[in-house]
Homo-oligomer: A and B are copies of this chain.
């Protein structure tokens, strides 16, 4: 099995997970969990999103969170849905902006209440603003592997948006399997097409586990040389009241698998397990992540 020597994990739980919690997770809780993630050696965190507090009340403390995190040796990214969000994120000191557009019109309208063209038109201003402050922008593409409204998504639609991002200067492109519709063969096909079209930019995969395939998708991506992945502590994300229904890949499970296979992540397995257990304790309910329940392989460490 031909595997890369190193993988770069982007921890997205503080954004993709916290945004969908049904009970308010305090700023202190958020900061404690982010600090635990940081102390485990994670160097890229999607820390929050600067969105309307009415749309996503869970993240109304985005600026306080960004002000409270440890900064040394870590990139704190902020998702921004529009110019107003970008301005706030930059003012709050985000190290990186993440913009998102869906690969289908139906999902983009459901997600940000406007069409793809309107989302694309907003990009120039965001990229200009970010460039002025020397802050890199990452372009995310939602429902890149399939759409709950439309079903299959032509890869041309995905690459039209990727092209727009890269023309404007995006440093990386995230292909997101927002509702867990990817399978390994779709992953290797889309990765291959991306690699043929764009040799330079970073490709990041973002897998949800709605259909139980996310870890297999990550393995498939590894075998074709993809080394950047979004994961979320404890497997949070999606609806918290449907156990395991739609979370992200659990960071600690991914670290466990990669470490066992000799792939370097720079993340300390026992510390990231501790962070996941802290998150579960603060939330007060069981999360989908598995390694935090079973422990690592070593019987002594597991005890």
Contact = CB atoms under 8 A, between A and B. Distances in A.
Contact of A149 (B150, B179, B180, B299): B299
B243 A244 contact: yes
A215 B146 CA distance: 20
A152 B260 CA distance: 12
Contact of A151 (B149, B152, B262, B298): B298
Interface residues of A, number: 53
A213 B218 CA distance: 10
Contacts of A1: 184-185, 188, 220, 223
Nearest to A151: B299
A299 to B, nearest CB: 5
Main secondary structure of the interface of A (DSSP, over half): loop
Contacts of A293: 210, 242, 244-245
How many protomers of this protein does the assembly include? 2
Given A219-B219, A299-B151, A290 B212 contact: yes
A214 B297 CA distance: 14
Contact of A213 (B149, B211, B257): B257
B257 A290 contact: no
A294 B216 contact: no
A299 B185 contact: no
Interface centre among A235, A256, A257 (most CB of B within 10 A): A257
A186 B257 CA distance: 11
Contacts of A257: 183-184, 211-213, 216
A183 B291 contact: no
A212 B215 contact: yes
A302 interface: yes
B288 A244 contact: yes
Contact of A148 (B213, B218, B299): B299
Nearest to A182: B260
Top 9 closest A-B pairs, CB basis? A212-B253, A212-B290, A210-B294, A216-B219, A215-B216, A183-B260, A185-B261, A216-B216, A245-B293
